[in-house]
Chains A and B, each alone.
Chain A
Amino acid sequence: MQKLNELRRQISDRQAERLAIQRQRCSREQVRAILDSWLANAEEQGRAALQLAVDRAMDGQAFAPLYAQGNAAVFQSPGAAPFSLDMGPLLISVLGKAAIKKTLSALVDELPDGLEPGAKTKRLAAIEAELLRLETEEEEVIVELEQAGETVLRRADARPEIILA
């Protein structure tokens, strides 16, 4: 029975690890890459907005380099106007990319490592193989115990293909 309990503990650990990996959408490095890509785009947009402002000034139009524009979508509930405005390009053009990156990178550094897509697939395959071995061994132990006259309740999530192999 001790051997069975140990096998079940290992099965439960592997299942928990598999679930954690499956739930993890991105690794820390992937989030860092998303941040870098966003910073690059926003920097470009910010520079273009400032360029447009000075070009317009050159044409004699009003000079408004830090003028923020957005869209207020008023529907369903007049009076309440949800309003969203991406301040990224403007802030980056004024404060510089490094300052924004420093703040956001500190938060990214605190994320758990996570696994890269390739490593994730590899680890999941390894867990599946290990689970198959552990669950097969579990069933063998249960059958041995039953033959010795003990009554053993199988796990509710035990795999039929292993039990009925």
Chain B
Amino acid sequence: MNVDKLITLVDQHAARQTNYRHLSSRYRQAVNDEARQMAEMTAEADDLAEQIILLPLEKLVAVPPEEMEAAGVSLVQGRRLVAARRLVARLRSESEALAEELKQSQALTSRLVEFAAQRGELLNQ
């Protein structure tokens, strides 16, 4: 049995777990940032501005600048919100993909470790 390869694969899985933790943390941070931005923008906004701010990303992008400004949302605020939403969407998609990879990697790693243990190779010793 190739123990070196087993150790490498277990290490690769551990690296995936670390990457996933970092990505999840970035995703949570991005969600919080987006929520904070929205809270700041809606704090003093009127109903029309609030409606714009609460629009989903694809609709928010399509709002004409003049309509946004007329509602009291500056172009810079609008762009920041779009950027925040895009970041959240991208990180969500990356997190989901990595979670799926991690699940697959976890299943395989568990089987490899079990296989090795049955042959007397205990990795935690």
Contact = CB atoms under 8 A, between A and B. Distances in A.
Interface of A: 153-158, 160-161, 163-165
A164 B108 contact: no
Given A161-B115, A164-B115, A164-B116, A156 B107 contact: yes
Nearest to A156: B107
A163 B112 contact: yes
A160 B2 contact: no
Contacts of A157: 107-108
Interface string B81-93: 0000000000000
Nearest to B4: A164
A71 B111 CA distance: 53
Interface in B25-65: none
15 contacts: A153-B104, A153-B105, A154-B9, A155-B108, A156-B107, A157-B107, A160-B112, A160-B114, A161-B115, A163-B9, A164-B2, A164-B3, A164-B6, A164-B116, A165-B2
B76 interface: no
B70 interface: no
Interface of B: 1-3, 5-6, 9, 101, 103-105, 107-108, 111-112, 114-116
Contacts of B6: 164
Given A156-B105, A157-B107, 7 more contacts: A153-B105, A160-B114, A160-B115, A163-B5, A164-B3, A164-B6, A165-B2
Interface of A is mostly: loop
B5 A160 contact: no
B72 to A, nearest CB: 48
The 6 closest A-B pairs by CB, nearest first: A160-B115, A156-B107, A156-B104, A164-B2, A160-B112, A164-B1
Contacts of A163: 5, 9, 112
Contact of B5 (A153, A158, A164): A164
A155 B105 CA distance: 8
A157 B101 CA distance: 13
Contacts of B101: 153
Contact of A154 (B1, B3, B108, B115): B108
A5 to B, nearest CB: 16
Contacts of A155: 104, 108
